[in-house]
Amino acid sequence: MNSDNQKIIFLDRDGTIIFEPGDFQVDSIAKVQLVPEVISSLSRLIDHGYILVMVTNQDGLGSNSFPETQFTEAHEYVLELFRSQGIEFKDIFICPHFETDNCDCRKPATGLITEFLVQNNIDPQRSYVIGDRDTDMEFSKRLKLQGIKIDPYAKQPWSSIVDEILSVDRKAKVVRQTNETEISVEVNLAVSAPVSISTGMVFLIICLNNWRNTPIPQSSLNVMAIWVSMNIIPLKMWPYLLGKHLVWH
């Protein structure tokens, strides 16, 4: 078993990396047509440490209407196209059943990849299911992974998906909470906007000299009341603050 957290992309085939023909069977090389930008996009994912796994339903594979020899010829042609560009699939899972067969391996069922899930430690925050059907999105829910639905006919369908995935790798958020405060720091290296820092409140400097002899201005009390109403200053701190000289910055 691989103990390292792996970033896995579970990919559908027909309608996702190649176009799906009208008869729903890619049973000849002549029917193979790559979805635009899929080669460069999968290469980017691999360069960023993602592992590709193909999971595809092929209705009636091996039947008289869909001979395995015809499927294999076209399928191997597709895989060789990707290999020639340095794109390899770690595993390929194919369900040959019809929906009416009620098998446990046809998507959205997850039986096809049960052993893979046992043998590999998947990073759930950085792994995805990409496909063109609702069954792919249901498959992602059952795996408890984020699903991304692709429209192969959309403009630049693959580059936008990869940009979305890689932007997550360039974001981080840390939250620290105490009884009085909550500090949240979020970094997003995927955008070029100027740095923005917001504290949500004005800082106070409490003077230690003569702090009990100077009255607090009414304007200061008004602002403090607003802070208390927003739960920025807990009520238990009122006696402490009212007895001190506050300098506003």
How far is residue 216's CA from residue 189's CA, in Å, rounded to a whole number? 44
Going by C-beta distance under 8 Å and a sequence separation of 6 or more, which residues neighbour residue 86?
Answer: 43, 46
Strands 182-188 and 171-177: antiparallel
CB 211 within 8 A of CB 243: yes
Indicate which residue of 14, 27, 132, 136 is catalytic. Answer: 14
Indicate which residue of 12, 27, 132, 136 is catalytic. Answer: 12
Helix axes 157-169, 38-47, angle to 10 degrees: 10
Query: 12 an active-site residue?
Result: yes
CB 22 within 8 A of CB 139: no
Catalytic annotation, residues: 12, 14
